[in-house]
Structure formats: C-alpha cells, structure tokens
Amino acid sequence: MDFSDPHIPIDEMYAYTEYDENDDKATYSSGRTLATSITRYRYENGRRYHAFRDGEYYQPNDAQHSSYELIVHHLWLLTLEDKLFVAPLQNPKRILDIGTGTGLWAADIADFFPEAEVTGTDLSPTQVTGAPYNVRFEIDDCCSEWTYPENSFDFVHMRGLTGSIGDWGYLYEQAFKHIQPGGYLEHLEFGIYTSASPDSNNPADVLYRRLSDLICEAGDKMGKEFRVAERIADRMRRAGFVDVVEKKFIWPIGPWSSDTKLKEIGRWNQRNWEEGLEGWVMALYTRMLGWSGTDVRDFVEDMKKVVRDRSQHFWHEVRVVYGRKPA
C-alpha cells in the first residue's frame, strides 16, 4: 500500500493500556550466521566502528548493530509486501548492492535470481556467512570512482545511505555510468523528520524535532547530508535516469494505528527506534557536537520513553524511488 495520504487511523484502545516492554516484542531471524572474522575496527564509547576509510560512516558495525539491521530489513519487507524491489526487472544478470551492510538484501536477491551475479559492497566486512553461491561481498567505498566496467549492471540497489554520502550527484552519476542501457537504479531511504497525528501531545514533538535537528547539524559539520529521501527523484532525473517512479510510505512509531498493516509496521518500527537510536547518534553527537558518551546515553533513554509513550502517535515517511537508464 502506498500511503500518500498521511492520515493514519488510530487504535483508541492502545492509548489506554499500560506499556509493557514485552507487549510488542516479536522475533525475526534470517536463519543465517553473521560473520565474526573482523580484524580491523575502531572502539569508541562502547561501540565498534569500521576501520577502512575510518570516520566516513557514522553508525557502528558491531553485533548489536547487526541485530538492528535484521529489524530494518524486515521492516522494508513488511512495507513492500515481501518484495525485494519494485522496479520492473526482467531476468537481471548482474546486480550491485551499494552499502550492503550485513548483506541480507544481497543474499535474498541472489536467492530470488539464482542465475544473476550479485555483488554487495560496504566499508565493513560484516556480511552474512553461508550466502548463496552467486553473491560476492567486497570492501569498497561507493563515494570513490567505481572500478567496474561501464554499462555492466542490470540493477543497482541502494538502501539506508542517509548521512553517508558527501556528493550525491557524483554517486548517481557513477551509477548511471555503470548501469547498462535499459537497466534500473532503485534507492530506498527514510525521512529524518517525524510528524504527529493531531491528537499527540506537543512536548514530545519538541524532543523528536531536537533529535532530527541535532542529527542534521552534525551531518552539516561532517559534510554528509541527512535530508535525502525527498530529493532522490530529482537527483535521479538530473543524473539522466528516465521513467522515474517515486513511492511514499508511512512508518508509525509504535503499534498505535487501527490499520492492521500499519500496526504491524509500527510495532517493528518501535523496535527499530529502540534498537537503533544509540547507533544513530553516538558517533554524530560525540565527534561532531562535543557530547560525552554519558550525555548521549541519557538523551537516548529520554527518547526511548517518548517512543514507548502510548499517548504519542508519531510517524515518519520512507520513500522508494527507481529510474531507468535510457536505451
């Protein structure tokens, strides 16, 4: 369902029940073992970060973050109704997954297209083990010049790169250059700012907005943009892609909607926020804004209280955009 209309039906009973952190817990497992043979990393404030191109990416690469990536992957599957892509692909032979992380999407797309050659690139060597035979993981920086042959990929996939790229125009140009005529680029991102249903209390909005403002401030200082989702379509067109299609979806923060699908997405998105918050802001606030690790953890705990507050009905937008390289 494409939720272009931001009106979300509310489950009135949800707000009048006391919060229990076990209420909305669910489990999700890919059935794969995460790689543990990491030999180069940076420890900081109790979290582990990549060593290759140290400092270029702000989120950790430790086991806690790998578990968080499982949640995000499942959220996207829920949103897209178990689809791994929305572009009209037909038997792609070469697929590139930029910023593959633990490689869950790359492994799944390799299963879906067993005849395709799938490559996943990332700054960290934390990809799943036991991946299909037709997927290969490489340590690479997508912001550098790509070394693949031109016109070589049928499909390039990017997801969750907000705050990671210094020059988006150059990245799209590289993708356009290396996608073969008729091939597709698909890019999925989340909106950095939240919105609230009219019945939510204003004090919570202050904290949500402060979180987003500080993230954007830190991003400006390190030269990485966080307000990305709403600019994808225009940037694709400027790079030369045609037939650009943009789909907008809503992720409630918490299972407060009476809509069955949105309730399930909200349940998982609440876990997304609870599991991901510290990783989202720890390096940004300490490296760029001068906060201490203790200050960040106190802020995170305050945010989690708002995230769990059943009287608050907040949501944020996510977008899926794809475009075709003309023949």
β-pair partners for 250: 317
Kindly report, residue by residue over 226-281, the tens digit of the pLDDT.
999 999 999 999 999 999 999 999 999 999 999 999 999 999 999 999 999 999 99
Answer yes or no: is pLDDT of 161 > 90. Answer: yes
- DSSP state, 238? H
- Return the half-sphere exposure (C-beta side, CA atoms, 13 A cut-off) of residue 153: 23
State whether the Cα torsion 50-98-161-273 is positive or negative: negative
Answer yes or no: is pLDDT of 196 > 90. Answer: no
Kindly report, residue by residue over 43-82, the tens digit of the pLDDT.
899 998 888 777 788 888 888 988 999 999 999 999 999 9
Kindly report, residue by residue over 295-323, the tens digit of the pLDDT.
999 999 999 999 999 888 999 999 999 99
CB neighbours of residue 238 within 10 Å: 14
- Return the half-sphere exposure (C-beta side, CA atoms, 13 A cut-off) of residue 154: 14
Answer yes or no: is pLDDT of 3 > 80. Answer: no
- Write out the H or E segment, with its range, that includes residue 189: strand 179-196
CA-CA distances (angstroms) from residue 269 to 96, 235, 282, 318? 27, 27, 20, 12
Pairing state between β 179-196 and 153-159? parallel
Token pair for 40:
């180069």
Answer yes or no: is pLDDT of 22 > 50. Answer: no
Over residues 7-12, the mean pLDDT reads: 66
Kindly report, residue by residue over 173-195, the tens digit of the pLDDT.
999 999 999 999 999 999 999 98
77 — phi, psi (to 5°)? -65, -40
CB neighbours of residue 71 within 10 Å: 19
Specify the length of the chain in residues.
Answer: 327
State whether the Cα torsion 129-134-139-141 is positive or negative: negative
Which among 99, 96, 116, 118 has a CA at the least distance from the CA of 107?
118
- Write out the H or E segment, with its range, that includes residue 17: none
As a whole number of angstroms, the distance between CA 314 and CA 306 comes to 10
β-pair partners for 233: none
- Write out the H or E segment, with its range, that includes residue 186: strand 179-196
Answer yes or no: is pLDDT of 172 > 60. Answer: yes
CB neighbours of residue 276 within 10 Å: 18
Kindly report, residue by residue over 94-137, the tens digit of the pLDDT.
999 999 988 999 999 999 999 999 999 988 877 888 889 999 99
- Within 8 A by CB and 6+ apart from 139, the residues are 52, 121, 122, 123, 124, 125
Contact between 102 and 131 under an 8 Å Cβ cutoff? The reply is no
Q: Which amino acid is at 244?
A: V
Lowest mean pLDDT among 20-29, 134-143, 157-166: 20-29
Pairing state between β 117-122 and 135-139? parallel
- Within 8 A by CB and 6+ apart from 251, the residues are 75, 79, 190, 265, 266, 269, 272, 315, 316, 317, 318
3-class secondary structure, 122: strand
